[in-house]
Amino acid sequence: MNALDYLQFVLAPQVVNGLALGVAVVLVALGLTIIFGMLDVINMSHGEFYAIGAYAALALGAAGISFWFLLVLVPVLMVPLGMAAERLLIRPVFDSRDRHVTTLLVTFGLALVVEDLLKVAFGPNTQRPPTPIPGATELAGIIVPNYRLFLIVVGAAIVNGVAYVVYRTRLGAMVRAAAFDRNMAASLGVPVALVYAGTFAFGVALAGLAGVLLAPIYSVFPTMGRDFILLAFTVVIVGGMGSIWGAVVAGLLLTQVQALASLVISPVWTDPIVFGTMVAFLVFRPQGLFGRLGHA
Amino acid sequence: MRDRLTLSMRASHLLALVLVTAALALAAIGAASGDTFYLRLGTEALIFAGLALSVDLLLGYSGALSLGQALYFGIGAYVSALTLLKVPSFWLAMAAAGGATLIASIVGGLIANRVRGVYFALITFGLAQVVAKVVYNTRELGASDGMIGIPVIEIGFGPVSVSAGNPVGFFLVVLAIIMGLYGITAYLLDTPFGRVLTALKANEKRVPFLGYSVWRARMFSYVLAGLIAGLSGALYPMLRGFVSPELMFFVTSGNAVISVILGGVGTLIGAIYGSVLLVLLKSIIGSWTEHHLIVIGLIFMVCVMFLPKGLVGFIRPRIEQRLLAGAQKPAAPSFAPARLEAGSAKP
Amino acid sequence: MKTTGYLTVAAGLLAATALTDGALAQSGPIKIGVVTPLSGTYTPIGQQVRWGLELAAKEINAGGGIAGRQVSLVFEDEEANPAVAVQKAEKLFQVEKVDFLTGTVNSGSTLAVAQLAERNAKLAATTVSFADSITTDKCSPNMFRVNARAEQQSVALAAWLAKEKPKAKVYYLGPDYEMGRSTVAAFKSSAEKSGAPTGGEVFAPLDSKDYTQYFGQIRASRPQVLYTSVAGNDTVRLLTQLQDFGLLTNLQVVGASGTVTSQNIGAIGQAAEGFATGVGYSPQIDTPENKAFVAAFRAANKADPDLYGADSYGLLFAYKAAVEKAGSTETDKVREALRGLSWQTPQGAKTIRAGDHQAMQPMYVVRVAKGKFDIIDKVDADKAIGPDACTRF
Amino acid sequence: MSGPVLEIRELGIAFGGLKAVDKVSFSAERNRITTVIGPNGAGKSTLFNLISGALKPKSGQLLIDGVDMTGASPARTKAAGLSRSFQITNLFFELTVAENLRMAAQVLEPTARAFLPLGRSTRALAKTGEMLERFQLGHKRDELAGNLSHGDQRRLEIAVCLASEPKILLLDEPTQGMSHADTADTAKLVRELSRDVSVLLIEHDIGLVMDLSDHVVVMHQGRKLAEGPPAMVRADPAVQAAYFGHH
């Protein structure tokens, strides 16, 4: 392959394609990092909430509801689900001595159950909703499907919206206060229990939204929740727990590293590279790129 | 004996005795009826109980949740298989598997013990994932298919020998080994060293100021756990005649964690009961529905939330009370010299 | 307490199995064990296996059974994990006392179960695993394969490709694990023999989310044909992403038989159009036997049979023929009867080669058109089978 | 052996520009009570963390019994003969009183005994009994440390520190949160202790400090403001201004 071909066909598109995949990973990691950073809860069932969102989009889409409406409807439907999960599963063990391990175990159990329930409800076969925006755009010889362009734009909007809510609004300030010191926040009149449930539900809704957005590209099947989970956890750790911008930078960076690595060396080494990055960060910079939200 | 931890350990020993008695009864019934399947299933449950034991040593005593303990189980199994394919010697295979897991767990420990808590869980998870993937892609190790053709060996104990193909004989051998590993672990946990581990779980930050190296204690328990997992894994190819990369996958690690939670974290014997229980649950539920994950997942969640000490944790305090009542009737023997006992009476 | 509970259960079961031993064994129903993935990633395949076998058992029983005995199927979930498969298979052999075993999907399970069958002196067959090793270097006297193996598939496909697009440049994209690599290697050698140059090859990790990072290399090498051996969800992603990027125009995509199947074709949709593969079965086979089979299968399961369903369906008729020929269900006698056995299936006549226990069968090249597998070429059984490489028996 | 049991020379550490401890030097003499005082935020607890190895100093030197221990880990400073308590009670709350003491006393045993049954560690067990008696905790030996009253917990904490037979004992506000009666008891106890162990104390109760200390070090904004016998320090005008002025 000559150098010009390599640049035009391989490297340049890679940057654009990697951006779309990066946005996908960031969308999944966003809810995870919020729940992790603010509630100090390891949600192992995050991938399954993502799957529920995708299946909801599939089922409701098949029932004739437009994709554009689903972008709003599915996250809204996920909120009560997230609230219920927080109330029934997280809150009872929230104050146990080893919160990390206990919540990790409870949500691990939930993941097992949800995965099997999805199979009972929707069957084991892979399904896929139609691409909402078909066609592709060619820019200077680089082909990009229109839906991926849309995904990049919407992804950026979602990240900015979430960051605005968390960092710039009174609501976000209450959440961050509750994350920093629960008792202090309570004494300042923050309804801590509601904030916690709301934050968890918000994270779950974001997972559901990611499911709606990504289903047309990555298809829908019962075990899809496991797909992103290691990568998403890595993004959260590398970016810094609870840091939204950290998740964005880490998500975009890691997917590019992964993609470029698979071009230069054997693709099978991409997993060790991602894992190696996670280990390196845990050992040398445990607070991640941007440090922990509410604690920085 | 009034020391609480020693008392708990004694209660565990009683439960271990019950288990061994039950196992021997099973062996006797099995031998009498010429059964193969249930004895071999029991053998498998015991082998995986070894893995669960190692998870409990980490989680229940030093407070470190390993989500990738199957890594060492798998390394033990593969090394044992490779050895047996060359030389069909039980002792050589066990020694090789022990040596390999010793080295592997030292390396793994150097990486994983740099972090704590949930990060430890994620690192052990990733470590196992990466190694399993490498095995899955290595043609020399049979890649995704694993390796078959591991011979049925004769296990020599001096003048007597037992065939791994003999269901009763091999069941008893495995029972002895796993209970031996349990015994060694239980012994170590009731020594001053073991108490340092308990202290780590209780309040890790205080430990260095008492003059103990936290890193050394964690490292020791990690390597010990790796070794237990590896030696248990080494028995697997002797029973089943093959190894496959699935032995290292998260399913295997996850099952061990489920076993420990069901049986009771930090009870040691609970890991073994939990493993037997899980095998039993799976085979009972599996015969009426293929959706066993729903049932097992629910039971698991209930245990984590409402029975944090598992089934053994539910039973054991009752045994402890009996033991305590029994011990207080005679002239209250205590580990401290009698003179000090008298001196410490209420002023 | 649970220990005693376990004991009671175990003792009860032991007593029960002891009773059924012997006396009833030769007169009651013939039991066939099915160890197949009913949970996990391979569930859809396990479902086809189950449907195919159940239909065959129903028809055989309606026709008077095997040598006058009814057939009963005993299912166990193997979770696509060899360690579970072996445990469940042992249960079927030892406790259920099945006469014959089938159902394993991934080749690791099939190989491990073959060894178990040997050690239990029973017979087993696979209807799904297509790794060449099962009937070549790791062949077992107790294992039979009634489905086409990888080499049969690639020989048929390569022969068609040489006619359809002579000397076309081929690019290879496989899943990065042993099976994926060997499938690509097998087709590559067939294709290169017939003069097709290689444009390049790349192996993507199993369960890859995004294949777009490989598209650049594919475009740059400007191939006319893309061969892939990915399967299941991976195919859905690969083909739909290729379509999204507009790469499917002027590109003939071909692949392994498991790449596009009735399980994932719905999800792939338009992107599957034109995909061609070498396979042992298509519901479009225009014979009365097949039409009857497809109709019955559809009526029973509300779904079309695919190669797994058809191969599993056919297996029971081979077993029936063998048992009736042997006049017994004894392992040695049935093995002898199965060797060289020819029987009719919806796929055409199949013959089990005595030397390696591999079924020979006519191979089809099918191409997806409007969501159906149209047959576009056929290769005779003896042309596709390849040499007998089993040296154990 | 002669010379001070603890000597620090120009010890310093900064957190992001803020010099929490700035070139502090002093010595603690054998079998004496040395007290560090100063207003909140003067750097007293940070100084303790530097001395006990919880923090590594950016500059300066630390000598325990004449041996350089600069930057050593807590386990190593412990081995060198330094024992410390914490401002906020820091015990193994889920373990019994006796077990808390035995854990601390175990360092008296040779390493090999760590792998022998508990009963073989006779010296540690004897020490445990001795501590139970001395601190009047014998009747509570089997209670969980977490179930003790605050006063008992503070006492147990001192007992734990003492069980390893240290050369120097660092006590961080041992009377914090105690009743008057308990405070007086503790003062008496500390005075008794100083017969066989050197004590370095952080204390807020000025009356107690003046009454108890042989030597006082005053810290202010990370620096050492003054040191000397209690009476001399009390009279120092700089100390008056910086410290007593606030009261």
- The enclosing H or E element of C342 equals strand C342-345
Residues B333-346 have a mean pLDDT of: 36
**Domain-located, residue A179:** yes
Judge: D124–B192 Cβ closer than 8 Å, yes or no.
yes
Q: Do chains C and D touch (3 or more CB pairs under 8 A)?
A: no
Residue D2 confidence (pLDDT): 66
CATH topology for the C2-148+285-361 domain: Rossmann fold (3.40.50)
Per-residue pLDDT tens digits for B6-54: 888 888 888 889 999 999 999 899 888 888 888 999 999 999 999 999 9
Return the residue matching tokens 């949709």. C269
pLDDT band at A51 (very low <50, low <70, confident <90, very high): very high
pLDDT band at B170 (very low <50, low <70, confident <90, very high): very high
C-facing residues of B in 248-277 (CB < 8 A) are 249, 251-252, 273, 276-277
**Domain-located, residue A285:** no
Residue A278 confidence (pLDDT): 80
* Residue A276 pLDDT exceeds 60: yes
Q: Give the total number of structural domains in chain A.
A: 1
* Residue A65 pLDDT exceeds 70: yes
Burial class (CB in 10 A: 0-12, 13-18, 19+), B30: buried
So what's the ipTM on this one? 0.85
Give A294→chain C minimum CA distance, Å. 33
Alpha helix locations (H) across chain A? 3-5, 12-39, 46-62, 67-85, 91-94, 99-122, 146-168, 170-180, 182-187, 192-218, 229-239, 244-264, 270-284
C-alpha span between C116 and C143 (Å, rounded): 10
Query: How many CB atoms lie under 10 A from the CB of residue D167?
Result: 18
Residue B237 confidence (pLDDT): 95
Q: Does B2 touch chain D (CB under 8 A)?
A: yes
Judge: D133–B190 Cβ closer than 8 Å, yes or no.
no
Of the segments B154-163, B200-209, B233-242, C128-137, which one has the largest average pLDDT value? B233-242
* Residue D118 pLDDT exceeds 60: yes
**Greater model confidence, D205 or A209:** A209
* Residue A287 pLDDT exceeds 80: no
* Residue C15 pLDDT exceeds 60: no
Per-residue pLDDT tens digits for C152-186: 888 889 889 988 888 889 999 988 777 788 888 88
Residue A12 confidence (pLDDT): 73
Residues A131-159 have a mean pLDDT of: 86
Judge contact between D65 and D82, C-beta under 8 A.
Answer: no
Judge contact between A243 and A291, C-beta under 8 A.
Answer: yes
SS3 content of chain C, % helix, strand, coil (to 5): 45, 20, 35
* Residue C57 pLDDT exceeds 90: yes
Looking at chain B, which runs of residues are DSSP E strands? 154-157, 160-163
Domain B4-250, CATH: 1.10.3470
Closest chain C CA to residue A120: C39
Q: Which chains touch A (3 or more CB pairs under 8 A)?
A: B, C
Judge contact between B16 and B225, C-beta under 8 A.
Answer: no
Per-residue pLDDT tens digits for A216-262: 888 898 888 887 777 888 888 888 877 888 888 888 888 888 777 76
Residue B183 confidence (pLDDT): 94
Give B136→chain D minimum CA distance, Å. 40
Q: Does B285 touch chain D (CB under 8 A)?
A: no
Per-residue pLDDT tens digits for A109-118: 999 999 989 9
Closest chain D CA to residue B184: D115
Q: Which backbone phi and psi does C380 adopt, to 5 degrees? A: -65, 155
C-alpha span between B142 and B162 (Å, rounded): 29
* Residue A77 pLDDT exceeds 90: yes
Residue B1 confidence (pLDDT): 40
**Domain-located, residue A68:** yes
Residue C112 confidence (pLDDT): 92
Per-residue pLDDT tens digits for D54-98: 888 888 888 888 888 888 888 888 888 888 888 888 888 888 888
**Domain-located, residue A75:** yes
C-alpha span between B179 and B175 (Å, rounded): 6
Residue B66 confidence (pLDDT): 92
**Chain D interface disruption, residue of B10, B13, B210, most D CBs within 10 A:** B210
Looking at B185-233, which runs of residues are DSSP E strands? none
* Residue C3 pLDDT exceeds 60: no
Residues C12-20 have a mean pLDDT of: 47
- Chain A residues inside the 8 Å CB shell of B134: 272
Q: Which CATH architecture describes the domain D1-81+166-247?
A: 3-Layer(aba) Sandwich (3.40)
Judge contact between B141 and B78, C-beta under 8 A.
Answer: yes
Judge: B297–A116 Cβ closer than 8 Å, yes or no.
yes
The amino acid at D169: L
Judge: B2–D73 Cβ closer than 8 Å, yes or no.
no
What percentage of residues in chain D have a pLDDT greater than 70? 97
Distances (CA, A) of A163 to A76, A237, A247: 19, 18, 11
Q: Which residue ranges does chain D devote to CATH 3.40.50.300?
A: 1-81+166-247
pLDDT band at B329 (very low <50, low <70, confident <90, very high): low
* Residue B244 pLDDT exceeds 80: yes
Q: Does A70 touch chain C (CB under 8 A)?
A: no
Dihedral-angle region of residue C115 (phi above 0 means left; psi in -120 to 50 means alpha; beta otherwise): alpha
Residue C23 confidence (pLDDT): 38
Question: Which of A105, A117, A237 is the closest to B261 by Cβ?
Answer: A105
Per-residue pLDDT tens digits for C31-42: 999 999 887 778
Give B72→chain D minimum CA distance, Å. 24
Q: Which chains touch B (3 or more CB pairs under 8 A)?
A: A, C, D
List of residues 6+ apart from C137 with CB closer than 8 A: C389, C390, C391
Q: Which residue ranges does chain C devote to CATH 3.40.50.2300?
A: 2-148+285-361, 151-279
Closest CA to C331 of C184, C123, C126, C125: C123
Judge: D129–B199 Cβ closer than 8 Å, yes or no.
no
Residue C19 confidence (pLDDT): 44
User: What's the mean per-residue pLDDT of chain A?
Assistant: 84
Residue A283 confidence (pLDDT): 75
Per-residue pLDDT tens digits for C209-263: 888 888 888 888 889 999 998 888 889 999 998 988 888 888 999 998 888 988 8
pLDDT band at B173 (very low <50, low <70, confident <90, very high): very high
Among the residue ranges A12-16, A103-107, A128-132, A193-197, the one predicted with the least confidence is: A12-16
Give A116→chain B minimum CA distance, Å. 6
Tokens linked to D225: 């403001």
**Greater model confidence, B334 or B270:** B270
Q: Does A4 touch chain C (CB under 8 A)?
A: no
What percentage of residues in chain A have a pLDDT greater than 70? 93
pLDDT band at C7 (very low <50, low <70, confident <90, very high): very low
Q: Per-domain residue ranges for chain B? A: 4-250
The amino acid at D98: A
**Greater model confidence, B181 or A181:** B181
Q: Does B140 touch chain C (CB under 8 A)?
A: no
Q: Which CATH architecture describes the domain C151-279?
A: 3-Layer(aba) Sandwich (3.40)
C-alpha span between A91 and A108 (Å, rounded): 16
Residue B321 confidence (pLDDT): 83
| Contacts of range A191-194, beta carbons closer than 8 Å, 24 or more positions apart | A193/A91
| Size (chain A), residues | 296
Residues A29-38 have a mean pLDDT of: 87
- Chain B residues inside the 8 Å CB shell of A96: 308
Give B201→chain A minimum CA distance, Å. 10
C-facing residues of A in 183-212 (CB < 8 A) are none
Residue C17 confidence (pLDDT): 46
Burial class (CB in 10 A: 0-12, 13-18, 19+), C302: exposed
C-alpha span between D142 and D125 (Å, rounded): 14
Q: Does B309 touch chain C (CB under 8 A)?
A: no
Looking at residue A224, the DSSP 8-state letter turns out to be: G
Return the residue matching tokens 């360092």. D107
- The enclosing H or E element of D27 equals strand D18-28
